[in-house]
Amino acid sequence: MGNSQLKLTAIDRKLLYELDMDARQSISALAKKTRSSPAVIEYRMKRMEKSGLIRKYITFLDAGKLGLMVWNVYLKLQNATSKEEKEILDYLASLKRTWWVASCSGKWDIIYSLCVKDVKEFYSIAADVHNRYGEFITDQNIEAHAEVEIISRGYFVKKGGMGSTWYKAIEKSMIDGKDLKILKAIAENARLMSTDVAKKTGLTSRIVSYRIAELQKNGIIHRFRLVLDVSKIGMSFYKVVVHLKNYTERKNFALKQHCIDEGNIFHYEQKIGSWMLELELDAGNYESADRQMKRMKEKFPDFIRDYELLLITGEPKAELDLTKQI
């Protein structure tokens, strides 16, 4: 990366911190919170967008409120050339029900995440993948999402993050045609003004604003998030498989709060499967991420049995628009 790294100013960091908590905040609100002018905020945002650091501003929906189950499948490959591995990744990315596909370095080579309506649909897709590429798969693991704490990146301002619970339960909420039009309009551009959403949907801006507020109140819209490419600032994306022991709600609460306070951990994912927890975090390098996890294991010796670090080396698909899954 070297000279291509984007150097962040103090205003940039404050801006990223605020946008990561609520990407739909107005320019004037962001200017006030960062003690800058609206012109400066617009310039800094465009600069970070142009550099590729800010990839998108998304409207992140709660999959459970859409009646969807979320499963992850982990694949270890054998005797697959780089061309064959790319073919597998491309196929996974082409599937409608995959919303995240990643290549990684560590115990697993590929992770793909599915949003499905029931276990039978999940089984059908996973079986199809295994049928097509089973000769290259030497090991496979399956994990179901139970609950996820989504955490803002506090490290931009050297603070802890702010957590909010996603996917508490699978309880399908009613979404009518007008709601769906609005959600599709702001799915990958959460900053689109209500007046522009109105033009796209044929609704009035007042109705758009009201319905967005109601979708937030009902938990269908979980939050407005940043999608970042942290490699632009010399960071890397790691997923950590955490093997727990002697589980209790008290221990889980304490560890979750610790992860929120760390500032660079942005997902605390409780799972059902071979392990019960995964973390997602930004770190400067493998050694830094490993040191952080060793400290965590030392702080929670009666809860963390072991961990496995996975470096996410590519994301052929990061389709965070859940309206496509409805």
Query: Residue 168: its pLDDT value, please?
Result: 87
- What does the alpha-carbon distance between residue 44 and residue 290 come to, in Å, rounded to a whole number? 33
Q: Are both 95 and 140 inside the same structural domain? A: yes
HEC string for 83-135: HHHHHHHHHHHHCCCEEEEEEEECCCCEEEEEEECCHHHHHHHHHHHHHHHHH
Q: How many CB atoms lie within 10 A of CB 46?
A: 11
Query: Residue 125: its pLDDT value, please?
Result: 98
- What does the alpha-carbon distance between residue 88 and residue 62 come to, in Å, rounded to a whole number? 28
Using a cut of 0.75, tell me whether the model's pTM lies above it. Answer: yes
Query: Residue 217: its pLDDT value, please?
Result: 96
Burial class (CB in 10 A: 0-12, 13-18, 19+), 67: middle
Q: Are both 244 and 134 inside the same structural domain? A: yes
Q: Are both 153 and 87 inside the same structural domain? A: yes
Decide: helix, strand or coil at residue 185.
Answer: helix
Q: Are both 292 and 150 inside the same structural domain? A: yes
Whether 58 is covered by a domain: the verdict is no
Q: Are both 194 and 234 inside the same structural domain? A: no
Q: Are both 245 and 154 inside the same structural domain? A: yes
Whether 255 is covered by a domain: the verdict is yes
Report the chain (326 residues): mean pLDDT per 10 consecutive residues: 78 98 98 97 98 97 96 98 98 96 98 97 98 98 97 98 93 94 97 97 98 97 96 98 98 99 98 98 98 99 98 93 89
Q: Are both 191 and 274 inside the same structural domain? A: no
Q: Are both 71 and 193 inside the same structural domain? A: no
166: left (phi > 0), else alpha (psi -120 to 50), else beta? beta
Whether 168 is covered by a domain: the verdict is no
Whether 169 is covered by a domain: the verdict is no
Q: Are both 199 and 287 inside the same structural domain? A: no
- What does the alpha-carbon distance between residue 109 and residue 126 come to, in Å, rounded to a whole number? 16
For 191, the domain range is 174-218
Whether 293 is covered by a domain: the verdict is yes
Q: Where are the beta strands (DSSP E) in the chain?
A: 54-61, 69-77, 98-105, 110-116, 137-151, 163-166, 221-228, 236-244, 265-273, 277-283, 304-318
Q: Are both 38 and 182 inside the same structural domain? A: no
Q: Are both 45 and 72 inside the same structural domain? A: no
> What's the domain count of the chain?
3
Q: Are both 147 and 250 inside the same structural domain? A: yes
Whether 157 is covered by a domain: the verdict is yes
- What does the alpha-carbon distance between residue 140 and residue 147 come to, in Å, rounded to a whole number? 22
CATH number of the structural domain spanning residue 189: 1.10.10.10
- What does the alpha-carbon distance between residue 122 and residue 70 come to, in Å, rounded to a whole number? 9
Query: Residue 2: its pLDDT value, please?
Result: 43
Query: Residue 320: its pLDDT value, please?
Result: 82
